[in-house]
Amino acid sequence: MANTRTLQRSFSGGEISPEMFGRNDDTKYQAGLARCRNFIVRPQGPVDNRPGFEFVSRTRWSDANPLLAADNPEPVRLIPFTYSTTQTMVIELGPGYFRFHSNGLTLLDAGSPYEIFNSYAAADLFDIHYVQSADVLTLVHPGYPPSELRRLGATNWTFTPIDFTPQISAPTGLTATASGHTTAKYLYEYVVTAVSADGLQESVPSVIAGDTGNLYESGGIVTVSWTAVGGASSYNVYKMQGGLFGYVGSPTAATFTDDNIAPDMGKTPPRYEGVFAGSGDYPGAVSYFEQRRVFAGTRNQPQNIWMTRSGTESNMSYSIPVRDDDRISFRVAAREANTIRHIVPLNDLMMMTSSAEWRVTSVNNDAVTPSSISVRPQSYIGASNVQPIIVNNTLLYGAARGGHVYELAYSWQASGFVTGDASIRAAHLFDDDTIVDMCYAKAPTPIAWFVTASGRLLGLTYVPEQQVGAWHWHDTDGWFESCTTVAEGDEDVLYCVVRRKVGGYMRRFIERMASRRFGAQQDAFFVDSGVRYSGAPTATVSGLNHLAGKTVSILADGAVMPQKEVPVGGTVNIGVEASVVQVGLPIEADMQTLPLAIQLQDGSAGQGRVKNVNQVWLRVLRSSGIFAGPDADNLVEAKQRTTENYGEPPALKSDEINIRLSPSWAASGQVFVRQSDPLPLTVVSLTAEVSLGG
């Protein structure tokens, strides 16, 4: 009976679908896993058990008193808001309200959570699309007027519909008086507009005023006067010629003298048409591109797109003839009439419908203008209504059908954007499920996060330029429902809405993933919906009333304590006095290698032979609490205590650890590793000694 040793140097392939177990020729197979549950794959190859989630707050409708809250409280959604490089917020978007959270704390006003009103219904929350510019968050939904959430101060936010009408009034009281002529032969007509102080807003034209005179005579003039407009820095005067008004001057005073100035017919008064004025005309997609705010996807005009005047947020004016900085309005001529669901600014502007992906460019490679815009299809996959995420210059989005995640990136070989199924090797995580929310964390590990309809949290460690795309999945005592990330310090922090059943009632919590960058062992945070205590030695930890009746794990000064049930009132006796304590729901993290594939002389790759994994060598980094075996039912603990004093916890190990496994003959020759204690585990590589049967 021959023994052989195998080495898996990397786990950067992530979890592989069982349909791929026969593909040992695939490069991802060599670095893949059969199970990667509650482990995070690093781009370099190791896997870390995920840190826990810290409890932030209950959602508004998840009151602590069951008598005051429904058994299944209203859903909420999380949206990121970045005010500056050092100030970020997580917005709790609920039916009828907004709340705000930052650095694991809820924004308060006079001791209560600060909130403002919105008109959104619970069923519509996850169909709202948004984009941020400076301190303004634009939100759109086909059933509601496009609106802006503005931050005016820490506890001073406003939520109002966007006003697409001019923000400066037209001049009134316009008069035109001809003089200096001997014979009045010609009618001269004028209109005047007011220009705002920033020069970006121009009012609608005034009423027409005219007089009969003769500007061809020496000394002939027409004096135009009007009532000054508050907030106007200047005025534009236009003169009739050939049925159109052309520009003749920009006085700062409320009067202008025309001494036979030839009008510039290339600049005419702005024309405003009503947009997004009522039900059926509200957009469902929004973004920014080349200094324009872009809208699309109304119910009445599902394939139309509107771009504001260049350099403005809500100016939808245009001129005759059209100028390059005018608003842009056009309809995408497609084979199928599908609503534009998303507008995404990459190197070019991408538009996504339920059946195709389109590229918006300029025909002359300059900026997009009303006269140079060009729209070309790039692929025919179709996107779901979940807002996509951008990674570098690559787009990740949910497919319209099938539940998979696709990537869209530019290809110089195709001279355009191409799509690919980013989840094809882990299809079992997506089949018979759908993506309901997604977000992206850049640092410390680049991970795209996805929440599924079944309540699981999927992670994709994604570095496209290095061909790294590793899937891992995460569960908890409850159901994940929404996710977002914001920068806090040097890390992008994941926040989630988690629905949990506590005391027989459904509750929704806002929870924040803890940092895995901890100092001493006692600072490690590997519990869910947990709380942290740091201070004078104590034998009790309070603040756990949100988990009353639940069994929790405890890490006290770095030592794992027996699990306890949280009593009513939320104060747990941890059994010893400790200065640093983490208490929360247990996390079980599992990793399992793929069926053994080794090169044999008969070319069988080991298939068709029974196998027994005798022992394994795990190279670990700052790890403790390690169990391994041939399967989940036959695990052996790695003994780590060496020179520690009595009463001290086993120290974290960074070494190669040998574990002799329970004998178990099977066809697969797999190794199963589990971490169920609130301790860190990082597996860098795995060597297995395997006996091969006939």
- Rounded to whole angstroms, the Cα distance separating 398 from 388 reads 7
pLDDT of residue 68: 47
Which residue type occupies 112? S
More confident residue, 676 or 365: 676
More confident residue, 3 or 405: 405
Residue 313 pLDDT greater than 50, yes or no: yes
Which residue type occupies 241? Q
Cβ–Cβ under 8 Å, residues 564 and 571 = no
Tokens of 638: 């790695």
pLDDT of residue 67: 47
Residue 273 pLDDT greater than 90, yes or no: no
CA torsion sign, 18 to 20 to 25 to 27? Answer: negative
CA angle 160, 488, 106 (to 5 degrees): 55
Residue 670 pLDDT greater than 80, yes or no: yes
Lowest mean pLDDT among 18-27, 331-340, 509-518, 535-544: 331-340
Residue 66 pLDDT greater than 80, yes or no: no
- Rounded to whole angstroms, the Cα distance separating 176 from 633 reads 95
Residue 146 pLDDT greater than 90, yes or no: yes
Lowest mean pLDDT among 314-328, 585-599, 642-656: 642-656
Q: Is the peptide bond before 562 cis (omega within 30 degrees of 0)?
A: no
pLDDT of residue 308: 95
* 489: CB partners within 8 A, 6+ apart: none
More confident residue, 598 or 240: 240
pLDDT digits (tens, 9 = 90+) for 385-428: 999 999 988 999 999 988 999 999 988 777 778 899 999 999 99
Cβ–Cβ under 8 Å, residues 147 and 162 = yes
pLDDT of residue 413: 76
Confidence of residue 71 (pLDDT cuts 50, 70, 90): low
Q: What is the mean pLDDT of residues 152-161?
A: 95
Question: Among the ranges 288-292, 313-317, 581-585, 602-606, which has the highest mean pLDDT value?
Answer: 581-585
Q: What percent of the chain has pLDDT over 70?
A: 96
Burial class (CB in 10 A: 0-12, 13-18, 19+), 26: middle
Cβ–Cβ under 8 Å, residues 10 and 45 = yes
pLDDT of residue 415: 76
pLDDT of residue 199: 83
Residue 69 pLDDT greater than 70, yes or no: no
Residue 219 pLDDT greater than 50, yes or no: yes
Q: Tokens 């503005």 — which residue?
A: 150
pLDDT digits (tens, 9 = 90+) for 238-248: 999 999 999 99
pLDDT digits (tens, 9 = 90+) for 44-62: 999 999 999 999 999 987 7
pLDDT of residue 493: 98
Q: What are phi and psi of 416, to 5 degrees?
A: 180, -170
pLDDT of residue 619: 97
Tokens of 650: 């086993």
Tokens of 332: 């995408």
- Rounded to whole angstroms, the Cα distance separating 336 from 339 reads 9
Confidence of residue 608 (pLDDT cuts 50, 70, 90): low
pLDDT of residue 694: 65
Q: Tokens 């297995």 — which residue?
A: 688
Q: What is the mean pLDDT of residues 506-529?
A: 96
pLDDT of residue 228: 95
Residue 668 pLDDT greater than 80, yes or no: yes
Tokens of 314: 């809500």
Burial class (CB in 10 A: 0-12, 13-18, 19+), 372: middle
Q: What is the mean pLDDT of the chain?
A: 92
Confidence of residue 95 (pLDDT cuts 50, 70, 90): very high
Confidence of residue 599 (pLDDT cuts 50, 70, 90): low
